[in-house]
Structure 1
Amino acid sequence: MNKNVELLNQEDVIKVKNEKTKWVITHSTFTVNDLTSGLTQKFGGNEELMKWSKEGVEANVLVEGKSWRQGKVRLSMEFIPDENIEPPSLLDDFRK
């Protein structure tokens, strides 16, 4: 399992590779915010869905090994980079 999971921000840009994944947004490049808005429109413009994805909703959470905690729960989007592909080093330009 990849441990380098990155939480995406609302303005981060996503480009999907598979055409079949465009069930919410009709183009392949979009922001997380565009996806959130698309989901809200697809499911009837539900303000509650928007609240879940933007500011979160009041909740209590029980996590293994901890007691109940009070706070907010918010939907988010994660990026899981391929493990076998190393990102280019910032030093690569200097090495050439």
Structure 2
Amino acid sequence: MSGEPEVSALAINVTIPQALRWTDTRRDEEFTLTTLNIRLLPDGHVAVKAYGRPVAGGRGAYVSFPVPDRAELAALVAAAADRAGVLWAAHRGLG
């Protein structure tokens, strides 16, 4: 292999702590948001979407929701990105 490998995506999934969860509605169905998908963009910033389960139960549709502009959620995203960086840097290769 010559040169640097082309990495097309870096993404992590993070569980939203119970105290930070919220609900949102899509297609007349209410969801409790439980997971963040955080992607590292080519410019070094991150993008984030939230996913969850219908309040009424069942699997429901796998749809993304915007993340509210709340300081505690921004802190969770930053901490998760930092933690992922530490874990990736310490990888031990294929198992």
State the TM-score, normalized to the length of structure 2.
0.24
Which structure is higher in strand share? 2
Q: Which has the larger radius of gyration?
A: 1
Question: Which is bigger in relative contact order (C-alpha 8 A, separation at least 6)?
Answer: 1
Q: Structure 1 length as normaliser, TM-score?
A: 0.24
